[in-house]
A and B are shown apart, each in its own frame.
Chain A
Amino acid sequence: MIRFLTIFALVFLAGIFVQATLLRTLVPAAPAPDFTVVLVCFLALRVGGVRGLLGAFVLGLLADFASAQFLGPCAAGATVAYLLVVFIASHMYADRAFSLALLAFMSAAAKSLVYVVMLQTVVGAQVSISNMLGTIALEALLTAVIAPFLLALLFGMTSSTDFARSPANETLPLRIRRVR
């Protein structure tokens, strides 16, 4: 458990650094992949259940703190993304690169949409979803490109015994196939 959390925390900080500094320096003003979404997908596929959901919420909250603007939009987006991955993974095999990329694409798009909707409804920010669709799609695509590699790395660095799920938290149907 401690090893899992340590690896997870290091990957999260590295992802924030790459997203905030490295990519912005190399390709300024361009959309960047969302490493938080990839980590949420990892939680949904490896941990699952309520504990994974709480982990995704905390990840989103940390991303909100990193922005220093509002608490809540990234957390809600991460929660919705987690639910989406759990739902889709319960209906399809999530053991190939293409399916992982598809999961990452859809969850990244969902997270971005939730973020924009919350900005509009709670704060009343003048953000037009139609204007942002292109950026949302591009960011989701970039996230989908890196997701298979990063997920393979995370699955390789951790094992399913690092975070054993108790029967009490098993809320997913039996036909789920998880990435080994």
Chain B
Amino acid sequence: MVSEEGYGNPDTDLCMNAAKCEKLGIRTVVISDEAAGTDGKSQGLADAAPEITAFVSAGNVNEMIELPAMDRILGYDSSISNLSGGAEESLRKDGSMFVELQAIIGSTNELGFSRIGARWI
């Protein structure tokens, strides 16, 4: 099983590793999250290899989610503007947040720890 953490460059490593294994006759399955865009219309990996015939999705990291305001905050909620998946407009006045799924670390765990996955609609 081949997995990776990250986007761009790691996607290329992932595809090269899986393709090399397949060409050596080592059957491979890939587990990876996808960066399919907030509208879900972009290709999820920055690279591709036709040898990757078995792919398990750990979810689209760009899908927007609602986080309700919390009673207690550990740290600084304004930091969301600097985190991947957040932006300046993420934190609302009432303390709720509208962010990408990837703002929650581990939500699209690349080892397939979670049940979430992207499917075609």
**Do A and B come from the same complex?**
no
Report which A residues bind B (CB closer than 8 A): none
